Amino acid sequence: MPSANHISPGNFPVVADDSLAVTTDDLAERPTQARASLRPLLLRLHFYAGVLVGPFLLVAALSGLFYVFTPQLERVVYDHELQVPAGEVTLPLQRQIDAAARAVPDATVVRVRPGGEPTSTTQVIFSRPDLEPSHWLTAYVDPYTTQVRGVLETYGSSQATPLRTWVDELHRGLHLGDVGRLYSELAASWLWVVVLGGLVLWWSRVRRRHGRGRLLLPDRRASGRRRVISWHAATGTWIAAVLLFLSVTGLTWSQYAGETITDLRAALSWETPTLSTSLSEHAEHGGHAGHEGHTGTATGPDVGPDRVLAAARASGLDGPVEVTPPSAEGEVYLVKQITNSWPVKQDSAAFDPATGQLLEALRFDDYPLGAKLARWGIDAHMGLLFGLANQIVLAAVCLALVAVICWGYRMWWHRRPTRDRFGVGRPFPRGAWRAVPRWALVPLVVAAGFVGWFLPVFGVSLLAFLVVDALSGMLARRPSRSGARER
């Protein structure tokens, strides 16, 4: 019987298991069994999905592996800016802000992060018109001497240093801007399809041949290509749950699917709640349902960040915090916890700038479930939620994914044609969809359309592959027809 594990000319080699293939002859011999199964269609989909995401997943895994350990790298590369010898008396926060302002002229203070440890510097964050969106200038101040130990351009709400920003942009978009972000969205959109398809194929093969007990174990008795297949599939099974999690959480950051997910969260009232910066709004409403607080209406001079920070500590905002001073008259001080490790501390509070009085407190426990899941998911994806253990798990999964991809290419190499030096194989036989009963095919098409709408990059790429596959099929039939006419 001819092998069914091939790739068409011009395509990338991908992971495929010829022992799982069902040829046209098989379908003719067992029409009842084949029509009752989606297996042939799943094989072809898994094949083309591997062609699509293989190279992109390899880049994402390697760049993600680098990103996981950027917190440790930052502490080494920016040790002078981030760390100071522990002193005895911390100077007032306002003096530290004033020192930073002198070092960063023509900029506006937007946030302040007092050091969370005795050896940590205070981060004073500035905005400036010439900076790109979500980029800031951060001055690192010695809290014991007010010496400015350095100024760096940082990124995002996490105040990522230039090193982490560079790795982050590599992982998200290959430093190609919005166009480059399509690579990561393409990989995240197809990753779950490849994982689920591979699990079904491997489970059905193991159940048929060895029983369920061999699902997580490679076949050590096998040799050659079958041994590689066994390691590829068993390793993929071990990391499948984490890969599905990374696919889902990665889509929340994506350019197009991310907008859809944001709209869905808004429709379900799963958005992350925030406190108002308007003093008058707090005076009118005196807090919202589910929030702690009371009304504050006083106006007058600014009591300063030191009084506000002391009030925040008294209200229960312990650990590392970020203080946002009023940016205009009639606004309040906002203080927010910024601990992303478990247990997460993301409580925030608003304070009257004239009195330092607590106006309203928003507790993380009061967040809707969707907002909590988003917070936990993002932090776990970044390797922050469970600290070093989180980093080790992600690093192991990245390395395992690289191995799975390499084993896939090794499998293709084992099955390459040996007589034709430049030859490549054929893809799985077409027409597998004809074996699917209508009662199953119609919902499958509808589901594909819905997923394509929800994940636009997935939908467009799926449509493109169908068109290319149809055109390649037409071209493949031409020689045989012309040959028939000549005969």
Domains and CATH numbers, the chain: 38-63+174-267+380-417+424-474 (no CATH), 81-168 (3.30.505.20), 279-286+301-366 (3.10.450)
CA proximity to 121, closest of 164, 171, 87? 87
For 479, the token pair is 């020689």
The tens digit of pLDDT for each residue in 289-322 reads 334 444 333 445 799 999 999 999 999 999 999 9
- The sign of the torsion formed by the CA atoms of 233, 236, 240, 246 equals negative
Check residue 478 and give its pLDDT: 67
Is it the case that residue 431 has pLDDT exceeding 70? no
CA proximity to 204, closest of 214, 218, 217? 214
Enter the pTM of the model: 0.84
% residues pLDDT > 70 (the chain): 81
pLDDT grade, residue 11 (50/70/90)? very low
The span from the CA of 148 to the CA of 123, in Å, is 10
Check residue 466 and give its pLDDT: 82
Query: Position of tokens 């395509």?
Result: 11
Q: How many CB atoms lie within 10 A of CB 349?
A: 27
Total length of the chain: 487
Is it the case that residue 15 has pLDDT exceeding 50? no
pLDDT grade, residue 219 (50/70/90)? confident
- Which stretches of 120-245 are assigned E, i.e. beta strand? 122-127, 135-141, 148-155
Check residue 297 and give its pLDDT: 38
Q: Which long-range contacts (CB under 8 A, 24 or more apart) does 256-264 make?
A: 256/185, 256/455, 256/456, 256/457, 257/185, 257/188, 257/189, 257/454, 257/455, 257/456, 257/457, 257/458, 260/454, 260/455, 260/456
User: Is the previous residue joined to 368 through a cis bond, with omega within 30 degrees of 0?
Assistant: no
